[in-house]
Chain A
Amino acid sequence: MSKLLFEKHSRNEAEWLPELGETEAKVLENIPQSLRRKKEARLPSVSELDVVRHFTELSQKNFCVDTHFYPLGSCTMKYNPKALDAIASLSSFSLIHPYQKADDVQGALQVLHDTERWLSEVTGMDEFTLQPAAGAHGEFCGLLIVGAYHRSKKETHKKKVLIPDSSHGTNPASAALAGYEVVQVRTDAKGHVDLADLKAKLDEKTACLMMTNPNTLGLFEEEILEIAQAVHKVDALVYYDGANMNALLGICRPGDMGFDIVHLNLHKTFAVPHGSGGPGSGPVGVKKHLAPFLPTPRIVKSGAHYAFEHDVPLSIGRLRAFYGNFGAIIRSYAYIKALGSEGLKAVSEHAILNANYLRVKLRELYEVPYDGPCMHEFVMAATRQKKKGVRALDIAKRLLDYGVHAPTVYFPLTVEEAMMVEPTETESKETLDAFVEILKKIEEEITRSPQTVLDAPHSTPVGRIDEVRAARHPDLRYHGKQV
């Protein structure tokens, strides 16, 4: 069992910092007594060796892409090339300050500019901003642009955003943050946006439809052109949630489907590592008519010179200080550079191939509610297993014992006992076959010894966690004695 750092104590003189070279008292003369800290911050005191051991031990308790197959639907857990990490860490790119003069950071500005251009090409959009820090941040940005656009046309009555009931939770949360009322659109029996329901709900109060394609069931929305047309007819905009972009590279582009605004998750499709929950990056692309509303500043190029343009009169403003998660953006820049157009095409091709392969091999074991060709992910349901008394959650936990991270479970909300599987393009057939074998073994266990599955996981550092206790009696920080 891991001790907290707070529960360890060894020598820490912070010798990685030089000596003060003066008495404390002398230096403190510069700070008025009334503004000084009186009680010392009780940070843990441990030696460098103990810090290294502590965090190394912690790391060894984690599943990660570097060690485990991670078929988490809608997360795109692909291999994160190490070259990208090295590039982001180059001094020439990591040791530069955002307020340096443009002349002194031309390399950085070129990276930003080129990334904007390439993302525009990939998505079929006209202009990009790299400012948003994550997908949800991009959604908020996009929705503010929607609002600014309608206000510029004096259409102040457009207060509704339509969102499919199968959508990711950030969609309605972002819409609410941007001041909109959320209206849900139904998914039809085939797993697609119900066009009739959409048309019935579209009216002059609609500002925007937010959706993704392929949708959260991994199915390509065939009626997308009609959908976009219907939305544009009421002077509303169509927003593309780019979480599933890994399915479309080189195949088709959201810009061509009629989307007005797009956000991308660089920590999904564009290989930025997930970092245990972040940081990512959520660039937003728009069609020309929305470009004036993009956040400030813009990146501009004249001749061979790059600069910032701060004068963006119709801009929605700023969503964060500085220009974006540069350390993440440069990884995607390098990724696109390394793969090129052929490599990007291969990404989606193999992502779709791998997903369909698993779908076909797993449908004998699991119910696949929408069983036709899928894109880069598919949803299966543990309904047959539920009848035997074992649920998706239990299967997810048992997979951990077999060294595989569980697929996404209980999302989308529209499928009972949902398990969303996204293998990604970087996995081999060998790995996929092994995954199928594991699920077959688990199926046998469900029949012969279901308790093994119900009590899983058994081999992870901890077993099933008491989440009820964690929520009823929140223990959110160390309160104990200083060791």
Chain B
Amino acid sequence: MQYISNTTEDRQAMLKTIGVSSFEDLLKKVPNKLRHFDWKLPKGVSELELLREVVEAGKSNHHFHDFACYLGAGCYDHFIPTVVSQLAHRGEFITSYTPYQGEASQGTLQFIYEYQSMICELTAMDYSNASMYDGASSLAEAALLALRMDGRKKILIPDTVHPEYRQVVRTYLSSIDCEIVAVPMKDLSVDLEKLKSLAGPDVAAIVLQQPNFFGVLEEARQIAEIAKKAGALTIACVNPISLGVIEPPGEYGADIAVGEGQPLGNPVSFGGPHFGFFTVKADLLRKIPGRIAGATVDKQGRRSFVLTLQAREQHIRREKATSNICTNHSLCALKGAIYMSLLGPKGLRRLSLINVKNAHRTRERLLKIKGVQALSDRPFFNEFGLVIEKDQKDLALSLRKNKILGPLALDRFYPQLRSAYLIAVTENRTEGDLDRLVRAVEEA
């Protein structure tokens, strides 16, 4: 299948205009040595065959229409209203380019501005950029920002932050002269006493995740106060859906608030593309990475939107840029904006509460099963840990049989947490799903 529009006649006519007798004549500069190679690629197929083959390949995937997903840990099975993908997948959004030519891209620029506004409302922060790749890399960029502030070289990251996020921060900071200090956890949350002892004058930033990797709600305000006392920045990494009922980072003293935007209207899609949101308090505006859309006017005084504060970015500052980011996750942020519009303030609240209700009900029923114990009694949002004293293999088989995906075995990331599992429960989980989950655990 080819998507070429030139006919054979066109091709001939063009070669003639160019003044060559064959296409090969245009490749004289390419060394002959390089022209001969063995290409082991499949033969092309028609669209008919393509769809058939890909659908067939997909059959071996256990997906959410057939299985109830109790996996979370950074991306969640939330319901996405039909309007979101219908609008976001319009050709005018999906096949449009970065809005460098503002007059040809007012649609894109306005949705970015609206997205920025909505995310700031959600997080109670002052400014947002136009999106980044994901929560983990946004967190890493926040750490880089903090390290560039005034010479402090330490970043404190609790063990309760998503393990893959911590890995990403380590990778991003690996060529920088700095130190990442782990803050131990106590009862699945940040050990505040240890944090206090680690928070010295050489600390550039303290990171917290809210809710944390275990779904537990941290004492965010206290952590931010400890940071402030030490003269360090507070970087909060938050779940946007939780902000319907949980205090937003702007209220408890975060200087930078980042997080994974996937729960806002983006499908799980095996881990990507999602989007990272990046918001700051006003005094950090000029240090923000990535694109930003701003409102202004055109020559006739009409309201217009344009990419602004571009002098921070790579195409202007090159090696002195605030980040190397160019392509971002614009379309994912658009889905986020459409989703947030459909939620409205009432929807956000209700969605949050449904998640809290479903998760707490699930935990309640599971705790009644013999062999199941709480991992912590700390407050949580829509995700929690449990100890399930069953043989791991038997449990896995039983869950599969009952068409359940997850829960996540925690010893994958925390070897000391044997027989412990992480369970995420969203508004998509029904009482019927829960019956099957309970049965699966009971029967294992």
Contact = CB atoms under 8 A, between A and B. Distances in A.
A200 interface: no
Interface in B1-43: 1-7, 10-11, 13-15, 17-20, 23, 25-31, 33-35, 37, 39-43
Contact of A97 (B47, B71, B98, B102): B71
Q: Give the interface centre of A99, A219, A466 by most chain B CB atoms within 10 Å.
A: A99
A60 B162 CA distance: 40
Contacts of A21: 357
A347 to B, nearest CB: 8
Given A58-B111, A471-B308, A70 B64 contact: no
Contact of A101 (B92, B131, B379, B396): B396
Given A108-B61, A140-B324, A275-B331, A98 B271 contact: yes
Contacts of B39: 121-122, 250, 341
Contacts of A225: 31, 33-34
Contacts of A139: 324
B416 interface: no
A20 B397 CA distance: 33
Interface in A325-346: 325-328, 334, 336-344, 346
Given A40-B349, A144-B174, A476-B127, A276 B318 contact: no
B415 interface: no
A346 to B, nearest CB: 5
Nearest to A85: B89
Interface string B134-152: 1111000000100000000
B175 interface: yes
A471 B343 CA distance: 32
Interface in A244-289: 250-253, 256-257, 265, 267, 273-282
Nearest to B240: A41
Interface stretch (B191-199, B200-208, B225-233, B245-253): B245-253
Contacts of A275: 93-94, 96, 329-332, 334
A83 B310 CA distance: 35
A373 B28 contact: yes
Interface in B123-168: 124, 126-128, 130-131, 133-137, 144, 162, 164-165, 167-168
A64 B5 contact: no
B350 interface: yes
A361 B55 CA distance: 45
Interface string A27-55: 11011101111111111111010011011
A92 to B, nearest CB: 3
Contact of B271 (A48, A83, A326, A352): A326
A6 B117 CA distance: 9
Contacts of A324: 271-272
B37 A35 contact: no
B164 A321 contact: yes
Interface stretch (B77-85, B368-376, B433-441): B77-85
A87 B51 contact: yes
A280 B79 CA distance: 24
A337 B334 CA distance: 29
Nearest to A482: B345
Contacts of A60: 92, 107
B239 to A, nearest CB: 13
Given A37-B248, A462-B103, A31 B356 contact: yes
Contacts of A309: none
Given A94-B269, A108-B270, A471-B309, A322 B131 contact: no
B2 A339 contact: yes
Contacts of A352: 23, 26-27
Interface stretch (A8-16, A232-240, A382-390, A437-445): A8-16
B184 interface: no
B304 A465 contact: yes
A75 B95 CA distance: 12
Interface bin, chain B: 35 or more
A470 interface: yes
B171 A107 contact: no
B63 A43 contact: no
B309 to A, nearest CB: 6
B55 A334 contact: no
A279 B320 contact: no
B171 A400 contact: no
A274 B96 contact: yes
A293 B405 CA distance: 32
Given A43-B122, A324-B272, A460-B104, A319 B171 contact: yes
A65 B95 contact: yes
A114 B285 CA distance: 43
B29 A342 contact: no
Contacts of A89: 85, 89
Contacts of A189: none
Contact of A48 (B4, B15, B83, B294): B83
Given A277-B130, A321-B164, A322-B74, A54 B341 contact: yes
Contacts of A321: 74, 134-136, 162, 164-165, 168, 260, 271
Contacts of B75: 97-98, 322
B120 A477 contact: yes
Contact of A464 (B103, B321, B406): B103
Given A20-B354, A96-B270, A475 B296 contact: yes
19 contacts: A4-B113, A5-B114, A12-B346, A17-B79, A34-B221, A60-B92, A63-B97, A77-B97, A91-B65, A104-B400, A105-B270, A107-B61, A219-B29, A274-B94, A338-B44, A353-B26, A356-B14, A405-B97, A465-B304
Given A91-B63, A91-B64, A97-B75, 9 more contacts: A279-B328, A339-B2, A352-B27, A373-B27, A430-B10, A462-B102, A462-B302, A477-B116, A477-B117
Q: Which 3 A-B pairs have the closest CB atoms?
A: A14-B347, A340-B44, A322-B271
